[in-house]
Chains A and B, each alone.
Chain A
Amino acid sequence: MKVIPALKITKVITDLCVQANLFLRKDVLAAIQKAYRLEKSQRAKRILAAVIENARVAKKEKLAICQDTGMPIVFLEIGQDVRITGSLKDAVNRGVELGYKKASLRNSIIREPLARGKSGLSPAVTHIDIVKGNKIKITVLPKGFGCENKSQLKMFNPTAKLEEIKKFIIDAVKAAGPDACPPYVVGVGIGGTADYACLLAKKALLRKLGPARSGMERELLRRINALNIGPMGLGGKATCIGVHIETFPTHIAGLPVAVNISCHALRSATAII
């Protein structure tokens, strides 16, 4: 049994919050640079150049990439041979608060969703997986709400045609249109239950951007980029820089499909302790 003090978790999460919000993921930056090279429209090129410059300024001057520093989402993969001393929940939220404070990020979290009231830095939304081993893998994903507001879930019939599902995903991007800061990364969760499909769609955003993993991902990327939404929705080839699909077994009576869109400022950071 390996003992990990809660304090250690706090420290790591503090650092991950700062890293994720200030330094754009290398794979995301590379994808935007590639989109810039492929873009023909001069306006779209100018916008993508601003996005690239923004990442440079954020890094150099230690400023948040985007003022919407998101709802912090913390993914924990905890090895079953780890014993945590102290309160894990408190450790996570304390880490988020310290990290957000350290980097002067935004107080975007309100305690009461209906009454609203004064905003603060925490709590985070936390997802925990128990895995084999004696380590803890921690990922922080600050999710801005311009794009989170465009999330969609549909419970398809198990006999639904594949094309209906593809259309649902493409339509979710169409509905987001110019509003959620394209070019997007589109996370898709298929299977499980309603809640689990949503979680899969969110987790799909954590995957490193790169070549499509399936024909369906490739086809969706192509069809979404043919929508001509483009950077800031002002037209262009770069509507989407990646479609990531995650699947899970589901029930004979259903076929949940969730879409979670990320803006071009897809931010996350991971550490293993």
Chain B
Amino acid sequence: MKKISVPLDAKQIQSLKAGDEVLLTGDLFTARDQAHKRLIAAKKLPLDLKGQVIYYCGPTNTPKGEVIGSCGPTTSSRMDGYTARLLRKGLSAMIGKGRRSKEVRLAIKKHKAVYFLAYAGCGALVSKYVRKVVPVAYQDLGPEAIVRLEVKDLPLIVAIDSKGKDIYEA
């Protein structure tokens, strides 16, 4: 299986085709509903989104002795209304589950970004690919805080590629 790593350069992103299965290594930033709402409203972003990957995920609490708790993807479409604005700020990839809106698909194409699916409903399994967790912002949001996850060989499926091709529209 093809291996890719963050930061994803333009060449790497453009080589990905909807339907490809890949293993991703590098840093991801978790963000879901409330974090998106804040990112959009923020005068100054708590992190530079340029070239970064957002993972739509709200992990469980961390059991003793584990790096992280269960941490699978949440439904991406709830973030659709915010996505184009984050792509404009330089975000290069998103990981989640399920379909995206047409607006998101077009924005992904315009900004030559990519949307991946992670194995849905497999949070225990996904946690095994996480090597390190670092809090980044909005800790008061609990499971919805932004944290940086260092992942190794996380299995993903390319759902919308940089040409705007969508696995769900095939």
Contact = CB atoms under 8 A, between A and B. Distances in A.
A233 interface: yes
Interface stretch (B5-13, B40-48, B82-90, B138-146): B138-146
A58 B60 contact: no
SS class, residues of chain A in contact with chain B: loop
Interface residues of B, number: 40
A106 B75 contact: no
Contact of B97 (A57, A64, A103, A181): A181
Given A119-B144, A234-B157, A66 B168 contact: no
Contacts of B123: 54, 63-68
Contacts of B72: 66-68
Interface in B14-37: 21, 34
A178 B99 contact: yes
B74 interface: yes
A57 B121 contact: no
A118 B142 contact: yes
Contact of A118 (B69, B77, B140): B140
Contacts of A238: none
Contact of B98 (A57, A178, A264): A178
B155 to A, nearest CB: 8
Interface of B: 21, 34, 57-64, 66, 69-72, 74-75, 77, 97-99, 117, 119-125, 127-128, 140-144, 155, 157, 167-168
Interface of A: 43, 47, 50-51, 53-55, 57-58, 61-69, 101, 103-108, 116, 118-119, 146, 149, 177-181, 232-234, 263-265
